[in-house]
Chain A
């Protein structure tokens, strides 16, 4: 059984959903307040969605200075799995743990809708249990989710299989339809969609389960979770 640390910044608001998703798959999750400087006993880290530090300056810009981020960087450098969802993704790019940047959506609209994602690479902790080309319905809920990077970075992402999820229909102007990227080693992943909100058909989709299963390193044989 894994013990997952869900980092809570002032202004995070998806931490309960992240914990519920982990517990739903039989693992343990605990909140990690952003002032903590160690991650002892933690097997995986989730940076949840929300508005860390009020999103002041830029989303994620101030959160990267929270004391816990030093510990998260060391944890990732040691190969520990780190998942940034939505605002957590923005924090990871601002911290330089993932390449690129997230800009305001094309059209300047806040988007809150289900999207269809296509798995583009399985060489990451989030997608290793899925298959390339697999389509997953997962909701998005963001204003600054348009992924951007320079040509050189994009070439590298493609070459290394670091683009893990793409939108089937681009909702926000993201370069190359990118919805989620991994670092080169594949242990740090960020995505704008919210897989923790797609854990049960009761909520419209259980397609987040395969992503969380991958992240938690578990394999559930029977589709009992999709009730």
Chain B
């Protein structure tokens, strides 16, 4: 069956995140105070045909690590999501 999967790609700890820090600096101008630790990333959504949820996540994790992220600077994590 098909499982709907979300893969989040985020910068690894210790890797500079200029996009996140630029967003964080911009927020007070809109009146949003008290927002810290902003990180930017990407999410990918797709369906995976697999025997069960575990197999779907395994496949999604593997393709997340091999294509969707650059393991030198990014982590990829897969989760089952709502359509």
CB nearest neighbor in A for B15: A148
| Any A CB within 8 A of the CB of B31 | no
Asked whether B72 lies within 8 Å of A57 as measured between CB atoms, the reply is: no
| Any B CB within 8 A of the CB of A104 | yes
Q: Shortest CB–CB separation between residue B38 and chain A, in angstroms?
A: 13
| Any B CB within 8 A of the CB of A223 | no
User: Size of chain B's interface in residues, with CB distance under 8 A?
Assistant: 10
A52 to B54, CA, bound (A): 35
Query: How many interface contacts (CB-CB < 8 Å) are there between A and B?
Result: 33
Partner of A148, one of B16, B19, B22, B67: B16
Interface string of B2-19 (1 = CB under 8 A from A): 000000000000011011
Interface string of A184-207 (1 = CB under 8 A from B): 000000000000000000000000
| Any B CB within 8 A of the CB of A108 | yes
Partner of B72, one of A101, A104, A106, A146: A101
Q: Size band of the A side of the interface?
A: 10 to 19
A61 to B73, CA, bound (A): 13
A146 to B16, CA, bound (A): 10
Asked whether A108 lies within 8 Å of B67 as measured between CB atoms, the reply is: no
Interface string of A42-78 (1 = CB under 8 A from B): 0000000000000001100100000000000000000
A173 to B18, CA, bound (A): 10
Interfacial chain B residues near A149, Cβ < 8 Å: 72
A45 to B23, CA, bound (A): 40
Asked whether B16 lies within 8 Å of A107 as measured between CB atoms, the reply is: no
A100 to B67, CA, bound (A): 16
Asked whether B22 lies within 8 Å of A100 as measured between CB atoms, the reply is: no
Interfacial chain B residues near A94, Cβ < 8 Å: 70
Whether A104 contacts B19 in the complex (CB less than 8 A), given A57-B67, A57-B68, A61-B67, comes out as: yes
| Any B CB within 8 A of the CB of A103 | yes
| Any B CB within 8 A of the CB of A105 | yes
Interfacial chain A residues near B73, Cβ < 8 Å: 101, 103, 148
Asked whether B15 lies within 8 Å of A61 as measured between CB atoms, the reply is: no
Q: Shortest CB–CB separation between residue B55 and chain A, in angstroms?
A: 24
Interfacial chain A residues near B16, Cβ < 8 Å: 103, 106, 146, 148, 173
Could you give 12 example pairs across A and B, Cβ below 8 Å?
A58-B70, A100-B72, A101-B70, A101-B73, A103-B15, A103-B73, A105-B18, A107-B18, A108-B18, A108-B22, A148-B16, A150-B72
CB-CB nearest 10 A-B residue pairs: A101-B72, A101-B73, A108-B18, A101-B70, A108-B22, A104-B18, A106-B18, A58-B70, A148-B73, A103-B73
